[in-house]
């Protein structure tokens, strides 16, 4: 892994084999980069994605991460050539190689935005669903293809689907290996926005830059709050809201936000 930095433009670029990684200002771009294999996950890609997240976590300047796929597809899921050779090791592979980076995205202080082109299938779909936000190209789709090869969903896909859609719809989609269009994903609340195919990455970058100018502490606590709210009682959520609100109220960013409001200017948040 080689790292290059251009201080005058606040740019960082790292060289991997199966992903591309770059940082400009406060936005990091991670692109799955095995287009000849439709960005299917092999062991090296899993390892390099871990390394990329290490770099994200170590850089306090990064506030938003855009995840995308090179070529015509976000990700076809697991590399079937490698998967068939795993045999009895598939449980360990999911728990030791997929679960850690999916959990790290969920619990990260950064905002993860999936920009989905083509198909996001299998574990590729789980990765997109794990992100905090998702924008899809009009021709893109989420594909729960597991049942078509006699498997069950993994990577947390079943959790995302049943919590968002309810049992019956989630079961239907998974048991029939349904392909969900971008329009369906919007209607079901699985994705946030859809745009014309040619405009996907430009739109994702514009959205990421806008998010990166937000208040980092507020965004961090909001992410934690909503993740907890999915499993906690109303009583516990109100208590957690109060605690996080106190943290934010005591911050320099809150003072900056109030000052900017009265001075009719754009606030400059520092995450302090």
pLDDT tens by residue, 171-228: 999 888 888 999 999 999 999 999 999 999 999 999 999 999 998 989 998 999 998 8
- Counted domains in the chain: 2
Distance of CA 261 to the CA centre of its chain: 31
Would you say residue 32 has pLDDT above 90?
A: yes
Exposure of 209 in the CB half-sphere (CA atoms within 13 A): 7
Number of helices (H) and strands (E) in the chain: give both, helices first: 12, 11
**Do 126 and 175 belong to one domain?**
yes
Distance of CA 174 to the CA centre of its chain: 21
- Beta bridge partners, 12, equal 5, 23
Query: Burial level of 233, CB count in 10 A (0-12/13-18/19+)?
Result: exposed
Q: Which residue has the tokens 């200002």?
A: 25
Question: Residue 272: inside a domain, yes or no?
Answer: no
Question: Residue 199: inside a domain, yes or no?
Answer: yes
- The CATH number given to whatever domain includes residue 75 is 3.90.226.10
Other beta carbons within 10 Å of 257 = 16
Question: Residue 271: inside a domain, yes or no?
Answer: no
End residue of a domain, out of 169, 193, 212: 212
Would you say residue 229 has pLDDT above 90?
A: no
CA angle 55, 57, 61 (to 5 degrees): 90
Question: Residue 165: inside a domain, yes or no?
Answer: yes
Distance CA 138, CA 235 (A): 40
**Do 131 and 187 belong to one domain?**
yes
Question: Residue 60: inside a domain, yes or no?
Answer: yes
Question: Residue 184: inside a domain, yes or no?
Answer: yes
**Do 128 and 163 belong to one domain?**
yes
End residue of a domain, out of 188, 212, 236: 212
SS3 label, residue 27: strand
SS3 label, residue 236: helix
**Do 133 and 14 belong to one domain?**
yes
- The CATH number given to whatever domain includes residue 232 is 1.10.12
Sign of the torsion formed by the C-alpha atoms of 47, 17, 108 and 185 = negative
Question: Residue 106: inside a domain, yes or no?
Answer: yes
pLDDT tens by residue, 38-72: 999 999 999 999 999 999 999 999 999 999 999 99
Which pTM was predicted?
0.90
pLDDT for 9? 39
**Do 125 and 246 belong to one domain?**
no
Q: Which of 9-18, 71-80, 154-163 has the lowest mean pLDDT?
A: 9-18
pLDDT for 230? 82
Q: Residue 237: which domain range?
A: 216-263
**Do 117 and 239 belong to one domain?**
no
**Do 114 and 184 belong to one domain?**
yes
In this prediction, residues 221-241 reach a mean pLDDT of: 89
End residue of a domain, out of 197, 212, 227: 212
- Beta bridge partners, 120, equal 75, 142
**Do 10 and 95 belong to one domain?**
yes
Distance CA 31, CA 28 (A): 10
Distance CA 58, CA 205 (A): 22
**Do 240 and 113 belong to one domain?**
no
**Do 189 and 221 belong to one domain?**
no
**Do 184 and 227 belong to one domain?**
no
pLDDT for 84? 63
More confident: 97 or 12? 97
Would you say residue 12 has pLDDT above 80?
A: no
**Do 93 and 6 belong to one domain?**
yes
């Amino acid at each position: 892994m080689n790292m290059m930095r251009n201080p005058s433009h606040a740019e960082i670029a790292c060289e991997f084999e199966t992903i591309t990684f770059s940082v400009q200002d406060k936005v990091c771009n991670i692109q799955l980069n095995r287009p000849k294999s439709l960005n299917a996950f092999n062991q090296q890609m899993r390892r390099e994605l871990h390394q990329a997240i290490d770099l994200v976590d170590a850089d306090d300047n990064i506030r938003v991460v855009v995840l995308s796929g090179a070529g015509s597809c976000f990700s076809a899921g697991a590399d079937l050539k490698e998967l068939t050779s795993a045999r009895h090791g598939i449980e360990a592979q999911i728990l030791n190689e997929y679960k850690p980076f999916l959990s790290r995205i969920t619990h990260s202080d950064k905002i993860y935005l999936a920009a989905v082109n083509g198909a996001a299938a299998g574990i590729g779909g789980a990765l997109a669903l794990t992100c905090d936000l998702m924008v899809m190209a009009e021709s893109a789709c989420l594909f729960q293809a597991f049942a078509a090869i006699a498997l069950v969903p993994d990577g947390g896909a079943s959790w995302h689907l049943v919590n968002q859609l309810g049992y019956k719809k989630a079961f239907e989609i998974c048991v029939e290996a349904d392909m969900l269009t971008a329009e369906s994903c919007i209607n079901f609340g699985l994705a946030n926005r859809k745009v014309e195919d040619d405009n996907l990455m430009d739109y994702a970058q514009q959205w990421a830059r806008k998010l990166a100018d937000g208040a980092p502490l507020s965004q961090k606590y909001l992410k934690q709050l909503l993740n907890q709210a999915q499993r906690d009682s109303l009583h516990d959520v109100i208590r957690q809201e109060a605690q996080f609100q106190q943290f934010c109220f005591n911050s320099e960013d809150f003072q900056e936000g109030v000052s900017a409001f009265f001075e009719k200017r754009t606030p400059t948040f520092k995450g302090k």
